[in-house]
């Protein structure tokens, strides 16, 4: 059932909502499941699922289909624990929706309704605009009061602002605001970090207002930072790129609900570096496992956006074994490329970096030194000793992610083999 979710965030939210305590008027029959879920609005959301298709209907403002409430209702019904009882008569709101669906003219399977789609798009954009206008006022108030008092704010200060963005269908920006609630307390450079992100958030608000004049790439970047996802079929129908793609590095992040993985690929002939994102429920397995150091010969579908692009596999590539890192730079050349990418997309927070012949120098701030004597500092949380042991103190080729002016190594080439760090 979670496979019906439009994105990983919806699946994660549905799991947390699939608890009877938030629900009332639950019931089901041979064709329908229904219930009311208390959300941020005064009145509970009316949720109905037609089991025959399945089809979903919810009175919440979400433009995702299905929304988290419909998925959560379906999960509770499937659990079979008695929280969703079998009833002879459907609730009035569920029956009315079923009658309305039965009265509609039949449309061929898969045929979109252009009028309904245009209406949904206009409603979503209106909701996002109102939410971003409110967020701009919040930003002005925060700056007007001064950053010095931010550390004294409770976590609810950030959580409330994030929740309003979620209600406005801007979950990507909401997650950035929410994470700032802890960053201002744990980072020594919290003031600089906060000011940098305030500028990026404000830039996103202004970019949204001027979205009609944005290029397709810039609009793709803006949709990513705001959290407006694209359907996989839409991406697969767009731009594609064929090459031999080297798997340079993998980075996984996991919490109690979600496992995510970034797979960085480099095109042997095109020279493009791209990222493939995989998601799975916590404890599950990723849909598209990749072997570090392998080479995928096939076609990728490109998401709209600036380099480095996000991609989807467009078919089943053939896989062979590579030899080391196919591309390396000096520290200065890698920083120049990162600067170019950052200039094209100011909301990037992770950039791929391939370095050649760097030596590990451990210390309070561990650094890598290239053949020109230029250094780059490693992320504080990264344990440098496994890397030092693998390198034996000698220069090595290395791939990592540049995050917040520091490098987090992901893989190192040892005797022609890429080893995960």
Which pLDDT value is given to residue 12?
Answer: 86
Token pair 């990723």 is at which residue?
286
220 plus 244 within the same structural domain = no
- Same domain assignment for residues 213 and 236: no
Question: Could you tell me if 305 and 235 are in contact, meaning their C-beta atoms sit under 8 angstroms apart?
Answer: no
Residue 18 domain boundaries: 2-101
Give the separation between CA 319 and CA 344, rounded to whole angstroms: 32
In this structure, is residue 106 part of a structural domain? no
Distances, alpha carbon 325 to alpha carbons 150, 199, 272, 410, in Å: 44, 36, 14, 12
Pair 272, 266: CB distance under 8 Å: yes
* Position 107 in a domain: no
Report if pTM > 0.75. no
**Which residue among 196, 226, 256 closes a domain?**
226
Q: Please check whether residues 206 and 244 belong to one and the same domain.
A: no
Of 95-99, 126-130, 192-196, 207-211, the range with the lowest mean pLDDT is 95-99
Residues 242, 315, single domain; the answer is yes
pLDDT digits (tens, 9 = 90+) for 326-337: 999 999 999 999
Q: What is the pLDDT of residue 112?
A: 56
Are 92 and 21 found together in one domain? yes
Nearest to 77 by CA among 94, 96, 92, 59: 94
Question: Would you place residue 255 in the very low, low, confident or very high pLDDT band (cuts 50, 70, 90)?
Answer: low
pLDDT-derived band at 368 (thresholds 50, 70, 90) equals very high
Cβ(346)–Cβ(200) below 8 Å: yes
Q: Is the pLDDT of residue 202 over 90?
A: yes
Residues 146, 217 share a domain = yes
Quote the pLDDT of residue 287: 62
Question: Which residues have C-beta within 8 Å of that of residue 384, sequence separation ≥ 6?
Answer: 360, 362, 366, 378
- The string over 239-265, giving b where at least 16 C-beta atoms fall within 10 Å of a residue's C-beta and e elsewhere, is eebebbbbbbbbbeeeeeebbebbbbb
Whole-Å CA distances, 40 to 22, 92, 179, 198, 227: 12, 23, 21, 26, 20
Q: What is the pLDDT of residue 257?
A: 61
Q: Strand, helix or coil at 405?
A: coil
Q: How many CB atoms lie within 10 A of CB 307?
A: 15
**Helix or strand (DSSP H, E) at 58:** strand 55-58
- Average confidence score pLDDT of the chain: 89
Per-residue model confidence (pLDDT) at position 289: 56
- The residue ranking higher by pLDDT, 41 or 77, is 77
Per-residue model confidence (pLDDT) at position 140: 96
**H or E element, residue 358:** strand 351-361
- The helix (run of H) or strand (run of E) holding residue 143 is helix 114-145
Same-domain pairing of 341 and 401: yes
Contact 194, 147 (CB under 8 A): yes
Q: Would you state the structure tokens that stand for residue 360, as one six-digit string? A: 């590990």
Per-residue pLDDT, 111: 55
pLDDT score of 11: 85
272 in any annotated domain: yes
Q: What angle do CA 291, 293, 294 make, to 5 degrees?
A: 65
| Domain annotation covers residue 120 | no
**Quick one: pLDDT at residue 284?**
64
Same domain, residue pair 217 and 286:
no
Q: Both 309 and 242 in a single domain?
A: yes
The answer as to whether 390 is a domain residue is yes
Strand partners, 279: 260
Is residue 314 domain-shared with residue 337, that is, in the same domain? no
Per-residue model confidence (pLDDT) at position 8: 79
Total domains present in the chain: 4
How confident is the model over 268-307, as pLDDT tens digits?
A: 999 999 999 887 766 666 665 578 999 999 999 999 999 9
Does pLDDT of 127 surpass 70?
yes
- Could you tell me the CATH number of the domain that includes residue 285? 2.40.50
Angle (deg, nearest 10), helices 216-226 and 190-209: 130
pLDDT for residue 367 is more than 90: yes
Among 195, 226, 257, identify where a domain stops.
Answer: 226
Q: Which two tokens stand for residue 205?
A: 């608000």
Residue 25 lies in a domain: yes
H or E stretch at 402: strand 396-403
Calpha distance 246→268 (Å, rounded): 7
Residues paired with 351 in a beta bridge: 402
pLDDT over 90, % of the chain = 62
Eight-class DSSP state of 242: E
**Average of pLDDT values for 314-340?**
93
Residue 160, in any domain of the structure? yes
DSSP string, 150-208: GGGS-HHHHHHHHHHHHHTT-HHHHHHHHHHHHHHHH-TTHHHHHHHHHHHHHHHHHHH
196 and 138 within one domain: yes
Work out whether strand 273-281 and strand 310-313 pair parallel, antiparallel, or are unpaired: parallel
- Whether 243 is covered by a domain: the verdict is yes
Residue where a domain terminates, one of 321, 347, 366? 321
72 and 26 share one domain = yes
Which tokens belong to 387? 């890397």
């Amino acid at each position: 059932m979670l496979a019906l979710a439009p994105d990983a965030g919806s699946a994660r939210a549905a799991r947390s909502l699939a608890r009877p305590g938030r629900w009332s008027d639950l019931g089901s029959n041979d064709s329908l499941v229904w219930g009311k879920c208390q959300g941020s609005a005064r009145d509970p959301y009316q949720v109905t699922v037609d089991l025959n298709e399945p089809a979903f209907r919810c009175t919440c403002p979400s433009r995702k289909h299905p929304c988290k409430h419909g998925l959560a209702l379906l999960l509770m019904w499937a659990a079979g624990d008695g929280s969703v009882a079998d009833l002879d008569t459907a609730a009035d709101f569920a029956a009315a929706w079923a009658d309305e669906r039965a009265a509609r003219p039949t449309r061929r399977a898969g045929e979109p309704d252009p009028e309904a789609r245009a209406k949904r798009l206009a409603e979503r954009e209106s909701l996002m605009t109102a939410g971003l206008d409110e967020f701009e006022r919040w930003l002005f108030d925060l700056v007007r009061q001064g950053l010095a008092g931010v550390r004294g704010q409770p976590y609810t200060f950030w959580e409330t602002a994030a929740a309003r963005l979620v209600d406005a269908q801007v979950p990507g920006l909401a997650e950035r605001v929410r994470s700032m609630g802890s960053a201002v307390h744990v980072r020594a450079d919290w003031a600089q970090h906060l000011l940098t992100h305030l500028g990026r958030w404000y830039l996103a608000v202004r970019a949204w207002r001027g979205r009609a004049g944005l290029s397709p790439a810039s609009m793709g970047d803006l949709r990513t930072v705001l959290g407006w996802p694209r359907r996989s079929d839409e991406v697969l129908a767009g731009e594609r790129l064929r090459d031999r793609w080297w798997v340079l590095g993998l980075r996984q992040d996991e919490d109690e609900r979600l496992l995510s993985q970034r797979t960085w690929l480099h095109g042997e002939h095109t020279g493009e570096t791209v990222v493939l994102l995989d998601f799975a429920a916590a404890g599950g397995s990723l849909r598209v496992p990749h072997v570090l150091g392998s080479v995928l010969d096939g076609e990728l579908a490109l998401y709209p956006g600036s380099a480095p692009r996000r991609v989807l596999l467009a078919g089943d590539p053939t896989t062979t074994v590579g030899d080391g890192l196919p591309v390396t730079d000096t520290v200065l050349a890698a920083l120049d490329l990162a600067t170019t990418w950052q200039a094209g997309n100011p909301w990037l927070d992770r950039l791929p970096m391939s370095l050649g012949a760097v030596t590990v120098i451990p210390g309070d701030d561990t650094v890598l030194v290239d053949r020109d004597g230029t250094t780059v500092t490693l992320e504080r949380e990264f344990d440098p000793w496994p890397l030092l042991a693998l390198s034996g103190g000698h220069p090595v080729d290395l791939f990592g992610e540049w995050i917040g002016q520091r490098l987090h190594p992901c893989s190192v080439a040892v005797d022609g083999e890429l080893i995960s760090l």
